[in-house]
Amino acid sequence: MISQHNFKMPFKYIAYLSIAALLFGGCTKDDNEDTPEDDLSNTTWIATMTDDNPGTNPPAAPGINVIYYPWRDCHMDDSFIFLKDRLTINDNGTLCENGIDLVLNTKNQNYFYDVATKKLTLGSGNEIVVLDVFELTKNSLKLGVPLSPSTNYNYMLFLFKRK
């Protein structure tokens, strides 16, 4: 015959093990690469032609079209290094004939990222450009610049992946 004392003992251990399993099993490291970030400082990016998340493009509506920036081969090894308040573009020894082109035309420039408005301002004084930040996650950065309606596109998107 099983005594009441012997019968309660296994339940006590099962209860302790269950609590321990819940406590430690519920703790997982969040490695979700799609979790939005809010800081560009101390990050390094490289250009990419692949949009892994088109859902972060400007809102789809009639007449809203995007075009992706046509990175050239000489851009594909460039490093875009965001320090505390400075963007440095390292061409890694592969020069483009006509420089960096269009918006990213200076190798070393000030920047300011406004998290609330999701606007990235590059340059200073009269020579600034303001880009929309459509995606900033652990591994992806998507910037956009509005285009003239005469181009049939509303935005040009610049795609980056974390180096």
**80, 46 in Cβ contact below 8 A?**
yes
Instruction: Supply the pLDDT for residue 104.
Output: 64
% of the chain beyond a pLDDT of 70: 71
Q: So what's the pLDDT on residue 47?
A: 95
Of 144, 147, 148, 142, whose CA–CA distance to 40 is shortest?
Answer: 142
Q: Give the integer Cα–Cα distance in Å for 65 and 152.
A: 7
**Which pLDDT does position 56 carry in this prediction?**
92
pLDDT digit string (tens) for 48-94?
999 999 999 987 666 778 999 998 888 899 999 999 989 998 888 88
Phi then psi dihedrals of residue 89, to 5 deg: -110, 115
CA gap 3, 54 in Å, rounded: 66
The model carries a pTM of 0.75
pLDDT in tens, 113-136: 999 999 999 988 888 889 999 999
Res 51: pLDDT: 95
Burial level of 45, CB count in 10 A (0-12/13-18/19+)?
buried
Tens digit of each residue's pLDDT (9 = 90 or more) over 132-150? 999 999 999 999 998 887 8
